[in-house]
Structure 1
Amino acid sequence: MLHKPAAARSNGDDGAPGFGVYIHWPFCAAKCPYCDFNSHVRHKPVDQARYVEAFRREMETMRGWTGPRAVTSVFIGGGTPSLMQPETVAALLETADRIWGLPAGIEITMEANPSSADAGRFAGYRSAGVNRLSLGVQALNDADLKFLGRLHNTKEALQAIAMARATFPRLSFDLIYARPGQALDAWETELREAVGYAADHLSLYQLTIEDGTPFKALFEAGRIAIPDQDRAADLYDLTNAVTADLGLPAYEISNHAAPGAESRHNLTYWRYGDYVGTGPGAHGRFSLPGGGKRVTITERHPETWASSVEQRGHGVIEEESLDSEAQGDEMLLMGLRLAEGIDVARYESLSGRAFDPARLAMLQAEKLVEPVANSRLRATPAGRLVLNALVAELAA
């Protein structure tokens, strides 16, 4: 376990893009019908020792690619990481610390599901170094939890929240809205209840129908009817209004936090920082010494990934080097999701081009973008609703 003195804050956000380490644990107890993440169900116990060794080897290889870096956050996602033994989590964090060095107080987030919540395990994860838990609650009523294919009920969700609040310095949990038949007043009631339980952060996602999921087949068969675009926009506006009123304003399109409690790791993505992704199906993006950015994507199938790491030292199956134009486009797409927007000078330096003044003036006149403190540019609430089109206009 990590025996380091606690820092005053476990966020440490200085506004810089940062360098994150993402660790993907791909196993779940069951596959949710809306989920298109790389998650897999195994009906026999997972050989956790084998995967610890595979993560160790892949992280060592990636350290050779990145060189020494000042790590600003670690995120253990999935899948369902709370299916891991605490000793497994401790081994993964000790490896990351040995390879890159994890400073005292660094934000270390782990995802968990209420159905696998256990006070003893939570205490073990905390002892291992985890100081921020992200719970996949998704709804606060039993009917919708059943519809979403979750293995927990509302009582179990609230018990998990209480355990997490008692164990970890920081807590976030997820909810999905724009569910079939969801009324505005019902969502407001549920949301206000959620804010009362959350420690400092909520991730609030609109239900989307993703390719390759059971919900996609049901939707195409006419057996699921999600809110239309206008109702979804109304639910989004209500979400922002209620969370702001209760002290957790949106700092990103789907994420809401008390000031200072934003997810440091996810800010690294949205600020277009660097990160390595280790584990089955993980993505990484990190700067190269001579310029450009390297993209890595690992094998999605867990056992195939582990075999690849054992044979080659890593499970990467796709790589790409991004030129300045591609980096600029990605920075726009990520950064305009944030309430803080993007640093215009950094965008111009990264992309090698400036915004077209006439196009920028047109978008400002249409109230889709706005300047911030003469150095930044952000999307307005209206602009964030049409973000892809907005990015295309700015990048043209």
Structure 2
Amino acid sequence: MSQGTSDGGFGIYVHWPFCAAKCPYCDFNSHVRHQPVDQERFAAAFEKELSYFADLTGGKTVQSIFFGGGTPSLMEPATVARILDKISDLWTVEADAEISLEANPSSVEAGRFKGYRSAGVNRVSLGVQSLIDIDLKLLGRLHDAKTARSAIEIARSTFPRLSFDLIYARPDQTPGGWEQELNEAIGLAADHLSLYQLTIEEGTPYFQLYHAGKLKIPDPDLGAELYELTQDVTAKAGLPAYEVSNHAKPGAECRHNLVYWRYGDYVGVGPGAHGRLTVGVNRLATSTERHPETWLENVEQSGHALIENAGLSEEEQGDEYLLMGLRLTEGIDLSRYEKYANRSIDPRRLSDLLEHKMVEEIGENRVRATREGFFVLDAVVADLAA
């Protein structure tokens, strides 16, 4: 894998906020609507907000586009096509740009997938989450394991590239059970897997159950054992981690997510979308109105629904670069950190982290977190940023 361009690249994120049901562990900006969504109206609003951001970022070349959510596979293929056509009108899009769409197995239809492929989508990311029926029910998913396997098969036959997600460190999960499930997943996978430890997020039903003593998840030691097992099994199968939770055959990494982790620029459109943009000498943090219908009205009235459009200080830029870049096995370029933060990392702190094997040097002026460092990544970042 290349070490990334000096600017980290440029991508566009499109947030579709609607889901058929809200999962009990999810703290994403997703909403259930019991009446059909007016996709025509939303498509026009996406076009409008894209135009606003194109005025800020004219001249950039798009390397990746990502439809996230929510459940983007609830979008009509025509809606996806309209948005992609608008992006092509507003920016130069690389001929081999990665165009990803997230899908839930329960909303996978072969015909709809063919429609997305015709629209230009060339990579799909399936929210499988588990291959065990009882755990899928526990996770509040609308599909069963058979439906998930069928969706994977349809996706593999339709798109050049495929990834799917699994959640581990689930209630009552054992290392042996996870290893068996993970090996099955690797057998089904194409060239990319996203493997996340279950986390209890504030404001979710799982948070309430956990603090009421009604939900038991693996303790930190077992969680660490499951993480180690995940790294070893995937690496042996030729899908090593290139980021804390993401595994790919060399060359099959998610290019869009690499834009984030390499601290590139990205436009974020749609309800609750975030962006990072370099405009002149300023680096801006953007975010939009989270509530879908309010976002829609604001865009129709103003051309955008920004609620934040703020310049980042040198310290904030340096901190973000560390936080994102140290998630990658390719690590960070210390000279890029100096460029953002306008200062060097304290050599004594770096030396201490090297000595304790929390980070390691990988070539000239690059460092990365070790496997031990990944377990305490927030502390490593805080130490380097101090």
How far apart, in 2, do the equivalents of 1:237 and 1:230 lie? 11
Counterpart of 1:343 in structure 2 is 333
How far apart, in 1, do the equivalents of 2:70 and 2:2 lie? 27
Post-superposition CA distance 1:240-265 (Å, at most 9, x none): 00000000000000000000000000
Post-superposition CA distance 1:243-301 (Å, at most 9, x none): 00000000000000000000000000000011010000000111120x23111110011
Post-superposition CA distance 1:102-122 (Å, at most 9, x none): 121100000000000000000
The reply on whether 1:272 has 2:263 as its aligned counterpart is: yes
The amino acid across from 2:354 in the alignment is Q
The amino acid across from 1:168 in the alignment is F
What is the CA-CA distance between 1:320 and the residue it aligns to? 1.6
Q: Is the 8 A contact 2:3 2:330 kept in 1?
A: no
| 1:223-242 matches, cutoff 5 A | 223-242=214-233
Say which SS state the counterpart of residue 104 (structure 1) adopts: strand
Counterpart of 1:215 in structure 2 is 206
Match for 2:4 among 9, 15, 34? 15
What is the CA-CA distance between 1:13 and the residue it aligns to? 6.7
What is the CA-CA distance between 1:374 and the residue it aligns to? 1.7
| 1:71-110 matches, cutoff 5 A | 71-110=62-101
The amino acid across from 2:352 in the alignment is M
Counterpart of 1:3 in structure 2 is none
| 1:275-294 matches, cutoff 5 A | 275-289=266-280, 291-294=281-284
Q: Is the 8 A contact 1:71 1:100 kept in 2?
A: yes
How far apart, in 2, do the equivalents of 1:126 and 1:20 lie? 19
Match for 2:368 among 378, 382, 389? 378
Counterpart of 2:359 in structure 1 is 369
Q: Aligned residues: percent identity?
A: 62
Say which SS state the counterpart of residue 95 (structure 2) adopts: coil
The CA RMSD measured in Å over matched residues stands at 1.0
Match for 1:296 among 274, 286, 291? 286
Match for 1:332 among 322, 336, 344? 322
Q: Is the 8 A contact 1:201 1:258 kept in 2?
A: yes
Post-superposition CA distance 1:181-222 (Å, at most 9, x none): 100000000001001111110000000010111111111111
Match for 1:38 among 29, 33, 50? 29
What is the CA-CA distance between 1:375 and the residue it aligns to? 2.5
Q: Normalization by structure 1: what TM-score?
A: 0.96
Match for 1:69 among 38, 52, 60? 60
The amino acid across from 2:267 in the alignment is V
How far apart, in 1, do the equivalents of 2:104 and 2:23 lie? 12
Post-superposition CA distance 1:35-67 (Å, at most 9, x none): 000001111111000000000000000111222
The amino acid across from 1:192 in the alignment is N
Post-superposition CA distance 1:154-184 (Å, at most 9, x none): 0000000000000000000000000001000
Counterpart of 2:307 in structure 1 is 317
Q: Is the 8 A contact 1:292 1:324 kept in 2?
A: no
The amino acid across from 2:309 in the alignment is E
Say which SS state the counterpart of residue 124 (structure 1) adopts: helix
Counterpart of 1:4 in structure 2 is none
Q: Is the 8 A contact 1:308 1:314 kept in 2?
A: yes
Say which SS state the counterpart of residue 24 (structure 2) adopts: coil
The amino acid across from 1:51 in the alignment is F
| 1:108-127 matches, cutoff 5 A | 108-127=99-118
How far apart, in 2, do the equivalents of 1:359 and 1:88 lie? 51
What is the CA-CA distance between 1:24 and the residue it aligns to? 0.3
Say which SS state the counterpart of residue 253 (structure 2) adopts: coil
How far apart, in 1, do the equivalents of 2:343 and 2:278 lie? 19
| 1:182-197 matches, cutoff 5 A | 182-197=173-188
Q: Normalization by structure 2: what TM-score?
A: 0.98
Q: Is the 8 A contact 1:180 1:227 kept in 2?
A: yes
The amino acid across from 2:98 in the alignment is E
What is the CA-CA distance between 1:347 and the residue it aligns to? 1.2
How far apart, in 2, do the equivalents of 1:311 and 1:283 lie? 20
Post-superposition CA distance 1:221-250 (Å, at most 9, x none): 110011111110000000000000000000
How far apart, in 2, do the equivalents of 1:106 and 1:191 lie? 30
Structure 1: gaps of 5 or more residues: 1-11
| 1:108-257 matches, cutoff 5 A | 108-257=99-248
> How has the CA–CA distance of structure 1 residues 127 and 13 changed in structure 2, closer, same or farther, with 3 Å as cutoff?
farther
Say which SS state the counterpart of residue 62 (structure 2) adopts: coil
Structure 2: gaps of 5 or more residues: none
